[in-house]
Amino acid sequence: MTFATWITFFVAACIIAVSPGSGAVLSMSHGLSYGVRKASGTILGLQAGLLLVLFIAGAGVGSLLLASELAFNVVKVVGALYLIYLGLGQWRAKVQLGVGAGGSAAAAQSVAPSLGKRVLTGFLTNATNPKGIIFMVAVLPNFINQHAPVLPQLLILAVTMCSIDLVVMHSYALLAASMQRYFRDARALRKQNRVFGGLLMAVGAALFFVKRGGANA
């Protein structure tokens, strides 16, 4: 892989990562609800899902998936329903009042899921995203030299993309976490949960309209 090819992919990966999507919404939601440190588990899961999609596309399985209308629709429906499920969960998320010094009431806070659940949530969000598969299948082959070993090239592209996505998703989470002071009471937290829950459900609903031929658009 030449440096020119890599830097072109680097720029493309930056644009992809910054573009708003389900991963960005999830990172901001968990950053605002639980703080950057706990959102890191979610973001780690997002990277695992991204890696899976990248290697599926690189191995040619993604092309087969797009060629099969049934398989593509199964992935699309599962991904859409999962995001809607996440949105409903966020909408109905429990809010608890903290206890300050001497037993006084402190700021309200959302109850964070376990680390394993946050990682799994991030993983499934990216792994079941048909738009990600379409993009990888359409774009990834342009950066791979078919006359050279494919695996080393995939590893370079994977490390590049995940490094960029880690920085961008943490930036989204940090930006959201910086607004925590504005969501110190239970009513504000409930509104916040409903906003992000609504966004996740909207993104999920939009996936139903993703077309199999989107990779050629």
130-180: per-residue pLDDT in tens?
Answer: 777 777 777 777 787 878 888 888 899 999 999 999 999 999 999 988 887
pTM above the 0.85 mark? no
Q: What is the mean pLDDT of residues 94-121?
A: 65
Query: What is the overall mean pLDDT for the chain?
Result: 80
The string of DSSP letters for 43-99 reads HHHHHHHHHHHHHHHHTTHHHHHHH-HHHHHHHHHHHHHHHHHHHHHHHT--EEEEE
Q: What is the mean pLDDT of residues 56-78?
A: 73
User: Is residue 107 classed as helix, strand or coil in its secondary structure?
Assistant: strand
Q: Contact 29/90 with Cβ under 8 angstroms?
A: yes
* Nearest one of 12, 14, 26 to 172, comparing CA atoms: 26
Tell me how far apart the alpha carbons of residues 172 and 199 are, in angstroms, rounded to a whole number: 15
Tell me how far apart the alpha carbons of residues 47 and 167 are, in angstroms, rounded to a whole number: 11
